[in-house]
């Protein structure tokens, strides 16, 4: 073809800072933008460039010491780092520590479509380089701790004539990404995609670390039932939770910490990932000393194939699921859940049942609110203590705890209203 023959000499040109011909430079860039020629370093480049369609089954894999480290960075740089990690081939790591991503993948990952996306993209990378570190602590065989401060990224490269972003990891961070052996955690990068809080990302990775171990050891004899239960429902000291979320000097009141860290993170994780999460504050005296988390994975329901293609069905399904998840999140943050659990009216397993907890929040807890208005929270505690003491044991298959508790509180409220009316 005429156009191809004319361009053969041009394909041998490599633009660099020493070229001084303005006309030549202008012509060269015009050709590259049209896709007729490209810089020699990228011609026939075998490097895989990760695009948005590649992310659906792409996983990030990190050493557990990195999972429990302190990420000294904001949400956006942290998400860019996680996305870059998911592009690493841990079985065949790159010799130059570099991965290649489509810039449009970055924009899609962050759902950025505004006119200033290029500026935001550059600012995020600049922050990742200038202000982002990991504070890692490692325990040796003697129980002594070693501390490291690691910068994760050494360089980032891109241009204005193609869609490729090159991110190069530092030598110090690479062992935590490729030399993993058995002490590692992997998770879907698409789960990270929907998280809009730094705390959500950090806790999601910590949950994944524990739950992955639960799945690995469950049914094996190498761990006791108690140890396996702790992996599925992990406990963490409050001071350690503050350390990994980098909030030792922030949200010092437990009310503020719960509102800005725990509630935000658990709600986002329930809404945007495959995890269903609840938590309980553990107290020593009047002080909160730790948090007990309750983890489970969402299980998709079987549906008829024709329904999956029905937009109305899909919309209704999504709306119901969102409503149920909101009810579950509210229930797990309600003091009534802790009281029920303390009186053995619900179990660990019950607290992981999104439908049961949603029904309690929707049908039972409003009735407890009515009792609380008349008798205070202690009145609710006394009622549930009475219910627990007089409750008859019967098989799980015949049990409908939500209905049982609903009937109990309805009957007791009638008694309370009669008592209050008699005192008027």
Domain ranges of the chain: 2-42, 46-193
* Burial group, residue 317, by CB count within 10 angstroms (0-12, 13-18, 19+): middle
Of 62, 67, 81, nearest to 167 (Cα)? 81
128 contacts 81 by C-beta, under 8 angstroms: yes
Q: Which CATH number fits domain 46-193: 3.10.200.10, 3.40.50.300, 1.10.10.10, 1.10.3720.10?
A: 1.10.10.10
In the predicted model, residues of the chain with pLDDT beneath 50 are 1-25, 28, 31, 33-45, 301-308, 394-398
pLDDT number for residue 398: 37
pLDDT number for residue 106: 79
Task: Give dist(CA 80, CA 186) in Å, integer.
Answer: 17
At residue 135, φ and ψ (nearest 5 deg) are -100, 105
pLDDT number for residue 326: 86
Beta strands at 275-284 and 287-297: parallel, antiparallel or unpaired = antiparallel
Coil, strand or helix at 7: helix
Of 352, 86, 55, 68, nearest to 208 (Cα)? 68
Give the DSSP H/E element, type plus range, for residue 176. Answer: helix 175-178
Strand partners, 165: 101
pLDDT number for residue 46: 52
pLDDT number for residue 392: 61
- Answer yes or no: pTM beyond 0.85: no
Own/partner pairs, 404-412, CB within 8 angstroms, 24+ separation = 405/340, 405/345, 405/360, 405/364, 406/363, 406/364, 406/367, 408/383, 409/364, 409/367, 409/368, 409/371, 409/383, 410/367, 412/371, 412/383
Up-side HSE of residue 303: CA atoms within 13 Å toward CB? 12
pLDDT, tens only, 279-298: 999 999 989 999 999 998 87
Alpha helices in 273-310 (DSSP H): 305-308
pLDDT number for residue 311: 67
Coil, strand or helix at 96: coil
Task: Give dist(CA 335, CA 366) in Å, integer.
Answer: 12
pLDDT, tens only, 340-378: 988 888 876 677 778 888 889 999 999 999 999 999 999
pLDDT number for residue 266: 93
pLDDT number for residue 254: 94
pLDDT, tens only, 227-250: 888 899 999 999 999 999 999 999
């Amino acid at each position: 073809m005429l156009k191809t023959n004319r361009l053969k000499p041009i394909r041998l040109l490599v633009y660099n800072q020493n070229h001084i011909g303005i006309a030549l430079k202008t012509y060269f860039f015009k050709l590259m933008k049209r896709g007729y020629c490209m810089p020699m370093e990228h011609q026939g480049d075998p490097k895989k460039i990760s695009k948005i369609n590649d992310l659906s089954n792409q996983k990030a894999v990190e050493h557990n010491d990195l999972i429990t480290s302190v990420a000294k960075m904001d949400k956006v740089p942290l998400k860019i780092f996680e996305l870059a990690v998911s592009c690493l081939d841990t079985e065949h790591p790159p010799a130059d520590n570099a991965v290649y991503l489509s810039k449009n993948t970055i924009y899609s990952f962050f759902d950025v479509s505004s006119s200033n996306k290029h500026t935001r993209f550059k600012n995020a990378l600049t922050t990742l380089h200038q202000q982002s570190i990991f504070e890692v602590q490692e325990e040796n065989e003697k129980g002594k701790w070693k501390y490291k401060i690691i910068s994760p990224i050494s360089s980032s490269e891109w241009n204005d004539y193609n869609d490729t972003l090159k991110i190069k990891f530092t030598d110090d961070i690479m062992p935590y990404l490729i030399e993993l052996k058995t002490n590692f955690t992997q998770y879907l990068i698409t789960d990270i995609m929907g998280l809009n809080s730094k705390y959500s990302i950090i806790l999601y990775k910590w949950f994944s670390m524990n739950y992955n171990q639960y799945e690995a050891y469950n049914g094996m004899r190498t761990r006791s039932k108690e140890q396996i239960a702790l992996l599925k429902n992990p406990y963490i000291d409050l001071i350690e939770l503050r350390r990994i979320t980098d909030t030792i000097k922030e949200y010092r009141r437990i009310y503020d910490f719960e509102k800005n860290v725990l509630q935000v993170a658990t709600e986002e994780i329930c809404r945007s990932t495959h995890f269903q999460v609840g938590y309980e504050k553990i107290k020593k005296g009047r002080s909160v000393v730790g948090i007990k988390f309750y983890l489970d994975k969402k299980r998709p329901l079987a549906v008829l194939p024709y329904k999956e293609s029905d937009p109305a069905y899909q919309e209704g399904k999504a709306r119901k699921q969102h409503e149920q998840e909101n009810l579950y999140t509210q229930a797990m943050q309600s003091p009534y859940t802790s009281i029920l659990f303390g009186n053995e009216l619900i179990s660990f397993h019950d607290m992981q049942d999104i439908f049961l907890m949603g029904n309690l929040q929707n049908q039972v807890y409003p009735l407890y609110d009515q009792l609380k208005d008349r008798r205070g929270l202690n009145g609710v505690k006394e009622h549930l203590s009475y219910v627990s003491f007089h409750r008859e044991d019967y098989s799980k298959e015949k049990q409908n705890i939500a209905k049982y508790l609903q009937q109990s509180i309805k009957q007791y409220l009638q008694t309370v209203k009669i008592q209050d009316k008699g005192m008027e």
